[in-house]
Amino acid sequence: MAFLAEHHSHPTAAEIFHALNRNGGAPRSSRATTYNNLRDLVQAGLVREVAVEGRAARFDARGMRHHHFICDRCGNVEDLQWFSVPRPGLKSLGNRVLRECELIFRGLCSRCASQRARRQPGKK
């Protein structure tokens, strides 16, 4: 939890596991414990899990509300400033019970966008 609170990079479970146990000191957390803790933190609502198609899940300490931008090319997850989102109409919602909504934008992150521009100077 402390690691997630300090690192806003949306790490995967494997990245968190390696970061916790990297270099010298005594091991801090096994792989199973890392996964167990992440599961529990998500269930408790303290951590958000972001599923990215084809890649490992990424995790995010729920600080200030925000939206996400996911890069088509590198898969990075970046934070976008929060703004409120309209709810679906009651008719369209039926008797579902709404808990939250998640807004994800997709495209090229700034790094991938500039790389792409350099390689294909002709393409608009």
Partner DNA sequence: CACATATTTGGAATAAATCTAAATGCGGCA
Partner DNA sequence: TGCCGCATTTAGATTTATTCCAAATATGTG
Give the footprint of Mn ion on this chain (CB under 5 A).
Answer: 60, 79
Calpha distance 27→49 (Å, rounded) = 25
Place of tokens 């976008």: 80
- Residue 19: helix, strand or coil by DSSP? helix
Q: Across the strands, what pairs with 12?
A: 58
Write the interaction track for Zn ion spanning residues 82-111; mark x where CB under 5 A is met and - where it is not. ---------------------------x--
**55 touches DNA by CB under 7 A:** yes
Considering only the stretches 2-10, 13-21, 26-34, 93-101, report the one whose residues sit in contact with its own copies under the rule CB under 8 A: 93-101
Taking CB atoms within 8 Å and a gap of at least 24, the contacts of 45-54 are 46/1, 47/1, 47/4, 50/10, 50/77, 52/77
Considering only the stretches 24-32, 65-73, 77-85, 108-116, report the one whose residues sit in contact with DNA under the rule CB under 7 A: 24-32
Residues making contact with DNA (CB under 7 A): 12-14, 27-33, 35-37, 39, 54-57
